[in-house]
A and B are shown apart, each in its own frame.
Chain A
Amino acid sequence: MLAMEYRGPKRVRAVQKPMPEIKHPQDAIVRVLRTCICGSDLHLYNGNVPDTRVGSTFGHEFIGEVVEVGSEVTKVKTGDRVIVPFNIACGECHFCRQGMFGNCHESNTEATAVGAIFGYSHTAGGFDGGQAEYARVPYANVGPTIIPEGMDLDDAVLLTDVVPTGYQAAEMAGIQPNDTVVVFGAGPIGIMAARCAWLFGAGRVIIIDKEEYRLDFARNYSYCEAYNFEEIGDPVVFIKKITDWIGADVVIDAVGAEAAGNAMQTITGRKLLLQAGSATALHWAINSVKKGGVVSIVGVYGPTDNLIPIGNVLNKGLTIRGNQSSVKRLLPRLIEHVQNGVLNPKGLITHRLPLEEVADGYRMFSAKLDNNIKTVLLPPSVTL
């Protein structure tokens, strides 16, 4: 089968690989119908996630048609079209039973701090991902959710990560009616987080980035104010100024390790790997939220350390929350929102490429070329 293959920092290609096999009685094999390149895939692409092995296949955003099931699979059958949450969850461990499906303890042998994620390095379990024609899906009784009749496949594929992660960013922030919400990062997740902030009753939503085309997109898609941090001076002072010098009630970090905007963070975090990525957005978030406010982190960082003003967290009495999205927990509500027209995930998609051109897709997204927001990859067996 055709699959994406990692060859080293900023080097990927499409190659022929063996078909995935059932390895556990609760496994299923799916034929991939849509798969996306995620912003967090760029951390792998840039070689910033430890234990990213050459020969791995990335891709944690995919939907597919079930073509084979293990002997204990009862919830899906051959021919079903399913949304595959990006996290692999057993559904019965200490954490899954608390609804923390992004923190499953029975899917990742290599690390305890992170649950398993499809195609996201051996630090996240060493599973091949969905940027391929076929993929192995463990715990098929738990994660895969049948795509409702009539749902557009482009909407469905964005329910695997972008929508639930953006929604959970707003949910974790504990937004109260009329709160002012600032979102750092106008990538797909940040744009979706800004859009979802309104669902929780936000009174004002502001998004900060440096790419004008993304800011324009966010203004229209998320109905929010959008500012270019290269034009507003010190972003923290700017946010204080536009919030009556109080600070935002809630700040969401939707950037993570690839943040620009601070040379010291960029050099130590992204170039020298002396930190677990550049923590510029998180630094700004802590300093621009009001005293007693909430910082919600969905931007992804590596497993080591980051330089952030932790003293200000104490002195300002902040609450910081973060997690990988619990996709399975959120899917029923989010499917409702899509079916009712409250959310329009496919509106984020700007590019469609054949899987054979995966290297071009990564470069385009990484370098922010051609006004790219979200790229969908189509395996050769899929016809539009």
Chain B
Amino acid sequence: MENNAVNTPIDPKQIPGWGVDADPKNDPTYPMRARMNVAQDPDPKHRPDSLQPLEVEKLRSIERPNVSAVYGTTVPPMGLSGAIRRLAFKYSENRYRHWLPLIVADRVQVVEGVLGDLVHGKVPNIWAEKGYDMEWKHNRSAFVTKMATIAALTAGTIIWLSAGKKKNSYEAKGRYKSAARPR
């Protein structure tokens, strides 16, 4: 059962700042624009005067008519993952065929990233990138257990698959022999 002993009752009025922002008008169903004293609906067509020049390929949601006045320029689409992303952006944010290809593209780009590192002569330091030093330092026994489990499962899977291949190979031989054997 719950550990109630450590939950000692407290008088809220003793807490610094208790009630300083209490507002009986803070009704969650009260429109935000009314709370902000916006006299009328702001013009939805209004745009900032200056627009960021389009210097990189920018994929655009088809739920808007234009590129936003400022935009991020990091990691434009490229390679196979980029092609998948371009395909995804043919569909609206309302469709799985927008989001699922983006998730696939993210995974494809992980492989592209490793290959890119290798092409540039850099072998990714997976141990460091995953921060395993922290696990080793603060969570060693659980970490070792987890790694041993993964290693055992991986080894087991490899052995099982290899055994399957051998069996298939015997069966193939057997079939060959039995077919050749005179009845």
Give the docked Cα–Cα distance between A342 and B44 (Å).
38
Known: A47-B106, A227-B2. A360 touches B33 (CB 8 A): no
Interface residue? A79 (CB, 8 A): no
- With contacts A8-B110, A24-B69, A173-B28 known, is A51 near B74, CB below 8 A? no
Interface string of A55-84 (1 = CB under 8 A from B): 111000000000000001000000000000
Residues from chain B with Cβ under 8 Å of A94 in the complex:
41-44, 46
| Known A51-B105, A112-B61, A112-B64; contact A107-B113, beta-carbon cutoff 8 A | no
B interface residues, how many (CB within 8 angstroms): 83
List residues of B (36-86) whose CB comes within 8 Å of A's CBs: 36, 38, 41-44, 46-48, 50-53, 55, 58-61, 63-64, 67-75, 81, 85
Interfacial chain B residues near A333, Cβ < 8 Å:
21
Q: Which residues of B contact A303 (CB under 8 A)?
A: 93, 99
What does the 1/0 interface line of A85-116 toward B look like (CB < 8 Å)?
A: 00010101110011110000111111111001
Closest residue of chain B to A54 (Cβ to Cβ) is B113
**In the complex the two chains form, what is the Cα distance from A8 to B117 in whole Å?**
13
Q: Most chain-A CB neighbours within 10 Å: which of B22, B60, B74, B132?
A: B74
Asked whether A271 is an interface residue with its Cβ less than 8 Å from the other chain, the reply is no
Q: How many residues of A contact B (CB 8 A)?
A: 97
Stretch at the interface among B122-130, B154-162, B163-171, B173-181: B122-130
Partner pick for B68 among A55, A56, A105, CB 8 A cutoff: A105
Interchain CA distance A199-B131 in the complex, whole Å = 39
* CB-CB contacts below 8 Å: A175-224 with B: 175-177, 198-204, 216, 219, 223
Contact B50 A198 (CB under 8 A): no
Q: Which of B7, B51, B128, B134 has the most CB of A within 10 A?
A: B134
Distance A53 CA – B110 CA, assembled complex (angstroms): 8
Q: How far is the CA of A233 from the CA of B2 in the complex (A)?
A: 8
Contacts of A173 in B (CB 8 A): 28
Decide: A51 and B106 in contact? CB cutoff 8 A: yes
| Interface flag for A346 (CB, 8 Å) | no
- Complex: how many Å from CA A231 to CA B4? 11
A198-B75 CB under 8 A given contacts A93-B42, A106-B47, A360-B131:
no
Min distance, Cβ A279 to any Cβ of chain B, angstroms: 16
Chain B hits for A364, CB < 8 A? 131, 134, 138
Chain B positions within 8 Å of A9 at CB level: 110
A219 and B36 contact, Cβ closer than 8 Å, known pairs A7-B110, A7-B124, A57-B74: no
Smallest CB separation, B26 vs chain A (Å)? 5
B-side contacts of A231, CB under 8 Å? 1-3
Interchain Cβ contacts under 8 Å between A and B, 30 examples = A7-B129, A8-B113, A8-B114, A11-B110, A24-B69, A26-B48, A27-B70, A51-B85, A51-B105, A53-B75, A93-B46, A98-B32, A107-B69, A110-B59, A110-B61, A111-B61, A116-B70, A122-B59, A122-B72, A125-B68, A125-B72, A171-B21, A174-B26, A198-B15, A199-B18, A201-B19, A333-B21, A361-B131, A362-B131, A370-B138
Chain A interface (Cβ within 8 Å of chain B)?
A: 7-13, 23-27, 47, 50-57, 72, 88, 90, 92-94, 97-100, 105-113, 116, 122-123, 125-128, 138-139, 171-177, 198-204, 216, 219, 223, 225-228, 231-233, 238, 273, 294, 296, 302-304, 319, 321, 333, 337, 340-343, 359-364, 367, 369-370
A-B pairs, top 8 by smallest CB distance, nearest first, are A363-B131, A126-B72, A127-B72, A342-B17, A8-B110, A201-B22, A97-B42, A50-B102
